[in-house]
Amino acid sequence: MVLPFYGEVARSAGGAVKVTCTVNGESRTADGVWEGESLLYMLRERFGLFGSKNACEQGECGSCSAYLDGKLVCACLVLAGQANGREVVSIEGLDGARVQQAFVEAGAVQCGFCTPGLVVATHDLLRRVPHPSEAEIREALAGNICRCTGYAKIISAVQLAASPHPAREAGRRQQVGR
């Protein structure tokens, strides 16, 4: 998908632009955005959302994964101006508690640098494919690099997040029986 360049972005002297978008459900505005500024930079440096990590700045590692209008993107490759008038969801605004807990339980978190991107990518996979095969998991996470854990525990974490939680299922059965 080709993202529109700037659309209706207000330009000021020197090429700086004003970007207004919805970030994690809240309307946010950034003034003086440089035309080449990335969405990642805007999230981190202008909005103080440090969950998306800045690692490769080339779209290779996945540590900056976020949603733009519901589509998974590498925020380092998206121009901030492309988010104007659109919806952005970063790790901070993601409903990812189930995925995060699975990563903890599976021991898939070590240094934590890649974890936000992996959680967002896993969230995206599970909303598209609720019960993915190992091959589907590997394909969905192929754009994410982890230098610490290896991938066995990460794959286990995704499988755990995809499976029904036994305690939750038991609680649901008890509630239904009432």
Annotate 74-95 with b (16+ C-beta within 10 A) or e (fewer).
bbbbbbbbbbbebebbbbbbbe
Q: Where are the alpha helices (DSSP H) in the chain?
A: 39-41, 97-105, 115-128, 134-140, 152-162, 166-177
Q: Quote the tokens at residue 178.
A: 């009432």
Residues 99 and 95: their CA atoms lie apart, in Å, by: 9
Residue 158's nearest CA partner among 112, 128, 118 is 118
Q: What is the pLDDT along the chain (178 residues), one digit of tens a residue?
A: 444 444 455 555 567 899 999 999 999 999 999 989 999 999 999 999 999 999 999 999 999 999 999 999 999 999 999 999 999 999 999 999 999 999 999 999 988 899 999 999 999 999 999 999 999 999 999 999 998 877 999 999 999 999 986 554 444 344 444 4
User: What is the pLDDT, as a whole number, of residue 89?
Assistant: 98
Structure tokens at 67: 């949603």
Are β-strands 17-23 and 26-33 bridged in parallel, bridged antiparallel, or unpaired?
antiparallel
The predicted pLDDT at position 172 comes to 38
Residues 160 and 105 sit within 8 Å (Cβ to Cβ) = yes
Mean pLDDT of the chain: 88
| Cβ atoms of 147 and 114 closer than 8 Å | yes
CB proximity list for 9: less than 8 A, separation 6 or greater: 17, 18, 19, 81, 84
The amino acid present at 63, given as its one-letter code, is S
Res 19: pLDDT: 97
Rounded to 10°, the helix 152-162/97-105 angle is 130
